[in-house]
Amino acid sequence: DVKVTQSSRYLVKRTGEKVFLECVQDMDHENMFWYRQDPGLGLRLIYFSYDVKMKEKGDIPEGYSVSREKKERFSLILESASTNQTSMYLCASSLDGINYGYTFGSGTRLTVV
């Protein structure tokens, strides 16, 4: 089974800090995604990447950036954390989202104080 591993289960950061959320997948998937999950809003796409060094903005990219230097690793960066970025962050990967669906990590619960 494909595994998507998110480095931290819980994080508490201060306003203004630069925050790195790490995600690693072990099945050579081309596509990787970062979503945030908020009650009543579902999963909203922040950024995605369909190849190493390639990235595209999702629906809510403001305040975030990403890095994908290696195929298996996709990092989400909060340039200057704010309290409205307190959320559950989910990383996913897919070989081909149409035929194989997404495999999600267990999520990182980020609290910005």
102 near another protein, rule: CB under 8 A = yes
Q: Rule CB under 8 A: choose which of 46, 94, 110, 112 binds another protein.
A: 94
Q: Return the residues of window 23-42 that contact another protein according to CB under 8 A.
A: 31, 33, 35, 37, 39-42
- Listed residue (60, 104, 54) closest to 78, CA to CA: 60
Q: Which range binds another protein by CB under 8 A, 13-21, 61-69, 79-87, 93-101? A: 93-101
How are beta strands 108-112 and 87-94 bridged, if at all?
antiparallel
CB of 26 to another protein, least distance (A): 15
How many Cβ atoms are within 10 Å of 35's Cβ, its own excluded?
Answer: 24
101 near another protein, rule: CB under 8 A = yes
74 near another protein, rule: CB under 8 A = no
For the chain, helix, strand, coil in percent to 5 are: 5, 55, 40
Burial code of 56-89, b = ≥16 C-beta within 10 A, e = fewer? eebeeeeebebbbeebbebbbebeebeeebbbeb
Chain residues binding another protein by CB under 8 A are: 4, 31, 33, 35, 37, 39-45, 48, 50, 56, 58-59, 90, 92, 94, 96-98, 101-102, 104-107
